[in-house]
Homo-oligomer: A and B are copies of this chain.
Amino acid sequence: MRKARMEAFSDGVIAIIITIMVLEMKVPHGDNWHDLSPVLSVFLSYVLSFVYVGIYWNNHHHMLHTVSRVTGAILWANLHLLFWLSLFPFATGWMGENHFTPVPTALYGMVLLMAAIAYYLLQQAIIRSQGPGSILKKAVGRDWKGKLSPVLYVTAMAATLLSGWIAEAIFVIAALIWLIPDRRIENVLPGSEP
């Protein structure tokens, strides 16, 4: 019961986040193809964020699958994750409207980093609540994706000192790592997919 409502609330918040991001793409005033060009970078940053929020929704969904009892710690760790996800529209809009210049790109990386940390804290809260023999702990395994991602976000933030585009490339790679299924690796490192 309690879990169903936490899932429903999270789904609601994530659905709204993913949808209001599109409001940052302001309808241009002219009616020619070239009037769309200022919207293009906002569109690209929207695509990137849509994929990230999609990955979070997907992983959140798998992770909660293992939960049977929702504790106060899990509830607040979940709200903490939703808080950082709720900053995606702002960070996405700022980065897109400024055509991927360094500072907004670094802020975007910071929001990605904080969301990754919040996701890790939620994961730990669930594992702690499940005690020894936690299903989630076993499923997460070495969690190489979960450990690599924050390193990539920090690297991208540092890379903005050189160029915003290198940072964007790192964000795309970090997203692809989550998107590409790693069944072969899964067999070697059981449960590497959170």
Measured CB to CB, the residues of A under 8 A from B are 1-2, 5, 7-9, 11-20, 22-25, 27-29, 31-33, 36, 47, 50, 54, 57-58, 61, 65, 72, 75-76, 79, 82-83, 86-87, 89-90, 93-94, 97-98, 101-104, 107, 179, 181
**A2-B65, A19-B20, A25-B90 known; 16 other A-B pairs, CB under 8 Å?**
A9-B14, A9-B57, A11-B12, A12-B12, A13-B15, A13-B18, A15-B15, A15-B16, A16-B20, A17-B19, A18-B82, A23-B89, A24-B27, A50-B79, A54-B79, A76-B179
A2: chain B residues at CB < 8 Å are 61, 65
Interface SS of chain A: helix
Once bound together, how far apart are the Cα atoms of A50 and B79, in whole Å? 9
Contact in complex: B14, A11 (CB < 8 Å): no
Contact in complex: A9, B5 (CB < 8 Å): no
Contact in complex: B24, A101 (CB < 8 Å): no
Contact in complex: A27, B103 (CB < 8 Å): no
A86 to chain B, nearest CB (A): 5
A173 to chain B, nearest CB (A): 18
Contact in complex: A33, B86 (CB < 8 Å): no
